Every structure is written in C-alpha cells, then in structure tokens.
Amino acid sequence: MASESENLDLSVPVASEREIFGLSGPLHLTTVDWTNPNHRRSVAASLVQGVYILERDRQEKREGNRPLAPPWWEAFHFQLYRLLIDDADSCVFGAMYQLTSVPSDSNHSADQAPRYVIAFRGTITKGDAFSRDVEMDIHIIKNGLHQTSRFETAIQAVRHVVATFGSSNVWLAGHSLGAAMAMLAGKNMAKTGVFLEAFLFNPPFFSAPIERIKDKKVKHGIRFAGSVITAGLALAMKQNHQANRSGGAFVALSAWLPCLFVNRADHICSEYIGYFEHRKRMEEIGAGAVERLATQHSIGGLLLNAMGKPSEEPLHLIPSASLTVNLTPVRDFKEAHGIHQWWRPDLLLESNIYNYRG
C-alpha cells in the first residue's frame, strides 16, 4: 500500500485555506437579502476576494486545472464578465462581474441587487505581481495613481459598463490598493454627474498617524491647528485659479456617498475616522466654515500650487461618505487590514453617514 506522501502530488502547490471559499468564505450567507447592508457588504468583499484568487490562480497555473476563484462569485449568482489585466506585467488586478439571476424563492427586493460589479484587488505579496503592485502603492502616496496605465484600464472598464448598460445598480468595490483604484474611478465618474455605489475596504489614507494618539484633547488640538493653517493658506490663495477649481470640484462630489469600511487598528485607513469625526466636531464648536474650507485642500497641494506646480488633489479628500468602523478586537495588523474580516457575521460595527454641507 502506498504511503500518504507517495500519493501526494508535490508538483501541485498547496492552496491556502483563505483561498478556498468552502473553508473561509461567508457560508452563512445562503440567501442574499439585497436590502440588508451586512449582506451587501459581505457580497462585495467576496467579489473582491475573487479577484485576489483569480490572480493567484494565474500565478499557480490553476486557471484550467481546479481553479479556486469561481465559487467566490458563483455562490451569489454572478458570472465573470471580463478580466482586467495590467499591461505592464499581465497580472489580474480587477474583474467585472455580471449578476445572472436572483433566486426565485427570495422574498427580498431584487431591484437593490447590482447588475454589474467592477472589483479591484489590493497588493499581493506573493508571485510576480508584487513589484508592480508596490509601484502602484507608491503612485498613491505621490498622488499619481491617475497617471498609470493600470488606472486607465480600470476607468475605461467603468466607462464601458456605464455607457453600455447604464449607471443604475452598478457597483464599484475594492480593497486597499484596489479601494484606492475604485475610489479614484468613483470620483472621476461623480465629477461627470454619474454616482456609482462604491464599497471601499481599508482604503489608504496616507498622512501623519494622528488617529493613533490616545489623548483626545491632543489629537483634536493637532487637527484643529492643521485645519486653521490649511484654511488660511486656501484663503490666501483664493485668487489662484487652481485652488478655486479644486474647491469647486470638491463641492461637485458632495452628492456621491461611497461606503468606506475601516478598522481602527489599521493605520493605513484609520485616519478616515478622524477626518470625518473632526469635521463634525468643528461644526459643533462653531468652526464649521473653517473646516469646510480646510477639508477641500491639503497643505502640500496648496504649497505646490503657490510655487506654480499644480498637483492632483490627494485621493483621500472626499466630501461625503458612509463610514463603517470595525471595532471587533484583532490579533495583529494583518487581520485588521485583511479583506476576510468584512464578511464575518459577528462583527462589532459602528456606522455613520457624513454629508458635506458646502
């Protein structure tokens, strides 16, 4: 009788448990209620995970031999409409999904279901996609993501879906780097009057880690000082065409309400908590006008404009959002930043809607 090791095909890479839907997917979600925010969040996160696994299937050459990705969308009655491929390294960075049907036994509102979902993955630390992903991360820090060929492929895909099928019930979804991609695509579409529903998981917010300061008074003091300085610079440059133009574009975005999902223990995205809480607090203390001006700009951008070097607005500057914070205890940063947390049924969540009043 052959031993277990003799029957094991060592040429086939062993998949991670996290890649297998039957082991780590939202198995509790047997029927989707499209009016339930928790269900919508879980499905959107699963579709993003599907993009991660599509790329891992490609890396491990599993596309035609037991691919692991399909269950991540087929479980919710989606089909793969199109892959989004990076022209620089041929990696899969996104996918377009089409809803094929809503179960006939569903008693829930089918008109809330998305017809199409365009999803983007984050950085993959394994395989040959890593260097290109890190390059994209650097572009985010430098406010240059809009200049990359990967984003051009992404925005063309979004425009194609909207032009072909309309904007009704079209979702954007992304995690980390992918959330930045979806955020930028959503902002671009919103500036043209097309407001797409967006599910942005752990979206990057690169700034000083003020949110990690435990003393609330110190934290508020730093944010208050930053707002006063930023608003002062903006006022001093009010005759500057670039500053006026960026402010007008910001106000034009106020009707778009993307859904942001952040974890307080994740320093990559946790600054969104302070960004919106500070705006609310400034209104409460009668300094709302200062904050409404400050939140439209960044100090760095204003200084570059003053030197005659117009810069793209930082990606994190958004006027309105539905912000959901995961308060569930985590073991480490990896868990706090991971996509898997967002379909767990036992999350401790805090949600608030922030509408910009120009």
What's the average pLDDT block by block, 10 residues per block, for the chain (358 residues)?
40 73 95 94 98 96 89 97 96 97 64 94 92 94 92 97 94 98 96 96 78 57 50 50 55 90 94 81 53 51 48 77 96 95 96 86
Domain contains 53: yes
Which one-letter DSSP state was computed for residue 69?
S
pLDDT at 248: 64
Neighbours of 235 (CB within 10 A): 11
**Integer Cα distance of 21 and 71 in angstroms:** 6
pLDDT value at position 228? 46
Specify the pTM.
0.82
Q: What number of CA atoms fall less than 13 Å from residue 336's CA on the CB side?
A: 16
In a domain, 154, yes or no: yes
- The reply to whether 150 falls in a domain is yes
Listed residue (329, 325, 330, 332) closest to 349, CA to CA: 325
- Written as one letter, the residue type at 107 is N
In sequence order, the β-bridge partners of residue 79 are 98
- For residue 302, is it within any domain? no
* 219 found inside a domain: no
Structure tokens, 12: 């086939």
Q: Which amino acid is at 62?
A: R
Domain assignment of residue 100, yes or no: yes
286: left (phi over 0), alpha (psi -120 to 50) or beta: left
d(CA 67, CA 74): 13
Do 199 and 269 meet the contact criterion of CB atoms below 8 Å apart? no
Specify if 164 maps to a domain. yes
User: By three-state DSSP, how is residue 88 classified?
Assistant: coil
Cα distance between the two ends of the chain: 76
Domain range for 81: 16-209+247-284+315-354
In a domain, residue 330? The reply is: yes
pLDDT of res. 107: 53
Give the CA-trace dihedral at 284, 292, 190, 100, to 10 degrees: -20
Domain tally for the chain?
Answer: 1
Q: What pLDDT shows up at residue 346?
A: 93
Q: What is the DSSP letter of 19?
A: G
Amino acid at 35: T
* Distance separating alpha carbons of residues 41 and 36, to the nearest angstrom: 9
C-alpha closest to that of 25 among 288, 336, 343, 345: 343
CATH of the domain at 165: 3.40.50
